Structure 1
Amino acid sequence: MRLGAFVNDATVRAIFYQAVTFAAVVGLIWYLVSNTIANMATRGMSAGFDFLDVSAGFNIAFTLIPYREGDSYLRVFQVGIANTLLVAVIGIVFASALGLVVGLARLSTNWLIRTLARWYVEVLRNTPLLLQIIAWYFGVFNLLPRPRESIALGGFMWLNNRGAYFPAPVPQDGFETVLGALALAVGAAIAVSVWARRRLRETGRAFPAGLVGFALVAGVPLLVYLALGAPLGWNWPALRGFNFVGGFSVPPAFCALVVALSIYTSCFIAEIVRAGIQSVGHGQTEAARALGVKPSRTMRFIILPQAMRVIIPPLISQYLNLTKNSSLAIAIGFPDLVSVWMNTSLNQSGRAIPIVAMTMGFYCVVSLIVSFALNAYNRRILLRER
C-alpha cells in the first residue's frame, strides 16, 4: 500500500517526469555535440576558438570602433557587435517615437488623420521588411545626388549617394568637466522628478518637474561649457574633389536600414499603443474632463500610465524583433554582425561551429538583457492587490 501510494503521488510523478525529460535533453545534447566533434575531427576540421587571435586580413567599410585590416577575428566580432547595437538602439528610439505618434493618430477624432494613420499601418506592416530595406536603399538613398550636388539640411548635415555627413565633435582640455556637470545635472533632474511624483501623491499639487529637469540638463552643462571657454571643437566635412572629407559620415546602407527598421516596427508599436489606450476605461477620461483636467495632461498623467501595463509586454517582443531583424542588413551590404562575422569571417576561417555559436550567444544575451530590463519595469508599474 505504501509503495502504491508513493507511486501514485502527484508530486512524485511530476518530479520523475521532469527528471526523465531533463536526462533525455542532456543526452540528446551530448549526442549531438559528440557526434559533431567526431565528424569534424574525421574531416580535419577544428571546433576550437584559437582562430580568434589570427589576423582577419580584410577591411570593413563602416566601423563604430577603431579597426584595421591586420586586426584579429576577435576584433571583427567586436566591430560587428558595435554596428549591430548602433542600428538597434537608434532603430528602437525612432520606432518608439514614431509608433507613439501614429498610435495616438489612430485614435484621433479627425477623420483624415485617423485614416492616414490606419493606411500607414496596414500598408507598411503587410509589406515584407526585406523588400522595404531594399526599396529604401536602391530606390531612395542610392538615387540621391552626387557629392558635388549634395542636399544641405540646416547647414550641419549633407546627403548624397555616398551617405550622410555630419560635423564631428573634437573634445579639448576641460571637456571632461562638462561631461561631469552633465552627469550631475541628469542625476539632479531624476531626483527632482522623483520628489515631484511623491509630492503629487501626498499633496495633490503638481510641480513642473519636466521644465525644471530640462533647465538643469541643458543649463548647467552649458554654463560650465561657457565658463571653461567652450572646450569643444568641431571637424566640419568639406567637399574636396569628388567627395567630402572630415567630419563624421554614415553609408547609405546604414541610413536605409535604420529608416526601414524604424518605420516597419513603428507600425506594430502603433497598434500596441492604440490597444493599450483603448484598454483604459472611457470613464477615466470623462472623470478627468469633469474635474477640468486638460486633455494633454489627461493623456500624460492618467491614460498613458495605466495603458503602459498593457503596452509593455508586447513592446518587449517588438524591440527584440527589431534587434534580430537588423541581421537583414546583409542584403544591402551594411557590415553588421551577420555580414562581417557569419559571412566573411566564416568563409575565410571555416570555423562554422564557433562562429555560429558566438553569433547565437550574442543575440540571446541581448534579448535576455532587453527582456529583463522591460520586465523589471513592467513589474514595478503593475497594480498590486492589498
Structure 2
Amino acid sequence: GIYFSNRGVFLPWPAPAAGFAVWAAGGLAGLAGAVIAYRLLLRVRLETGRRTYPGLAAAAVLAAGLAAGWTLAPAPPFTVSVPTLAGFNFRGGASLTVQFSALTAGLAFYTGAFIAEVVRGGIQSVPRGQTEAAAALGLRPSLIMRLVILPQALRVIVPPLTNQYLNVIKNSSLAVAVGFEDAFFVARTVFNQTGRTFETVAIVMATYLAFSLLTSLLMNLYNRSVQLVER
C-alpha cells in the first residue's frame, strides 16, 4: 500500500527482474516501429487527405512491441517492490521525502504559472484568420490546433520557454531553504570538512553551467527545427 508519515511518502515501485532486458528490447523495437508508422501514415494523410489515424496506429505498434517482449521474456520483466514497516522505518518501494516533495511542488507551481502564460501568449499570437481558414477547409478543431496553430505558435513559445527551463535549474538551489540535500548543501558540507572553498565553489559553478549549457543547446536545436525556413 501507500504510506504517509512525517518522513515522507512511501509507495510501491516496479523493480527490474530477469526478463527486463528482453521486454525492454521489445519496447524499443515497438517504439521505433511506432515512429516509422506515424510518420508514414501522417505523410499519406497530408498528401492524399485520407484519414489514416497515425496516432492510433503508432499506439498499436508500440503496444504490440511491449506485448511481444513480455511474451518472449523468459521470466517476468519486473516485480513490484512494496514498502513494509521494519522497525521505525519503511523498507522497499520508493520514497519521497518531505523536503523533496516541498521543493518539487514549489518549483512546479511557480514555474508552471509562467509556462502557462508563455503557451497562452504563443497560441493567441497566431492570427484568428488562420483558424477560420482551416475551419473553412473542413479541418477538425484538434487538427487545426496541431497542424495550423501550434506550428506557428511554437516559434513564439520556444525562446521564452527556454528561459523558464533555465530558471528551474537555477531556482533549484533554493532547496537548501527546505533542508533538501542539493548541490549547495553538499558543497557546504564538503567546505566545512575540507576547507577548500575555491575548489568547492568551482565544482558547483561548473555543474550549474553544464546543465544550463546543455538545456540551451537542446532548446536551440529544437527552436531551429520549428523556425520558418526562408527561401
**TM value normalised by structure 1:** 0.56
Alignment of 1:250-329 (within 5 A): 250-329=96-175
Q: Is residue 27–residue 69 contact of structure 2 (8 Å, CA) maintained in 1? A: no
Q: Distance in 2 between matches of 1:269 and 1:262?
A: 10
Equivalent position to 1:222, from 67, 74, 91: 67
Q: Distance in 1 between matches of 2:179 and 2:99?
A: 7
Q: Distance in 2 between matches of 1:204 and 1:356?
A: 59
Q: Structure 1 residues 162, 218: CA separation in 2 closer, same or farther (over 3 Å shift)?
A: farther
The Cα of 1:354 is off from its aligned counterpart by 1.2
Q: Name the counterpart of 1:142.
A: none
The Cα of 1:383 is off from its aligned counterpart by 0.9
1:385 and 2:230 are equivalent in the alignment:
yes
Number of residues paired by the alignment? 230
Q: Distance in 1 between matches of 2:10 and 2:113?
A: 29
Q: Name the counterpart of 1:162.
A: 7
Larger Cα-atom Rg: 1
The Cα of 1:212 is off from its aligned counterpart by 2.0
Q: Is residue 31–residue 65 contact of structure 2 (8 Å, CA) maintained in 1? A: no
**Equivalent position amino acid for 2:222 in 1:** Y
1:212 and 2:69 are equivalent in the alignment:
no
**Equivalent position amino acid for 1:364 in 2:** L
Could you tell me which runs of 5 or more consecutive residues in structure 2 were left unpaired when the two chains were aligned.
none
The Cα of 1:206 is off from its aligned counterpart by 4.3
SS at 1:193 equivalent: helix
Q: Distance in 2 between matches of 1:351 and 1:240?
A: 40
- 1:101-141 per-residue CA deviation (whole Å, 9 max, x = no partner) reads xxxxxxxxxxxxxxxxxxxxxxxxxxxxxxxxxxxxxxxxx
**TM value normalised by structure 2:** 0.91
Q: Structure 1 residues 206, 338: CA separation in 2 closer, same or farther (over 3 Å shift)?
A: farther
The Cα of 1:186 is off from its aligned counterpart by 1.4
Q: Structure 1 residues 288, 310: CA separation in 2 closer, same or farther (over 3 Å shift)?
A: same
Q: Distance in 1 between matches of 2:51 and 2:5?
A: 48
Q: Distance in 2 between matches of 1:266 and 1:231?
A: 35
- Which stretches of structure 1, 4 residues or longer, exceed 6 Å deviation after superposition? none
Query: Percent of pairs identical after alignment?
Result: 45
Alignment of 1:94-243 (within 5 A): 155=1, 157-228=2-73, 229-243=75-89
SS at 1:292 equivalent: coil
Equivalent position to 1:362, from 190, 193, 207: 207
Equivalent position to 1:247, from 77, 86, 93: 93
Could you tell me which runs of 5 or more consecutive residues in structure 1 were left unpaired when the two chains were aligned.
1-154
**RCO comparison, higher one (Cα < 8 Å, 6+):** 1
- 1:287-325 per-residue CA deviation (whole Å, 9 max, x = no partner) reads 122223222222222111210111001000000100111
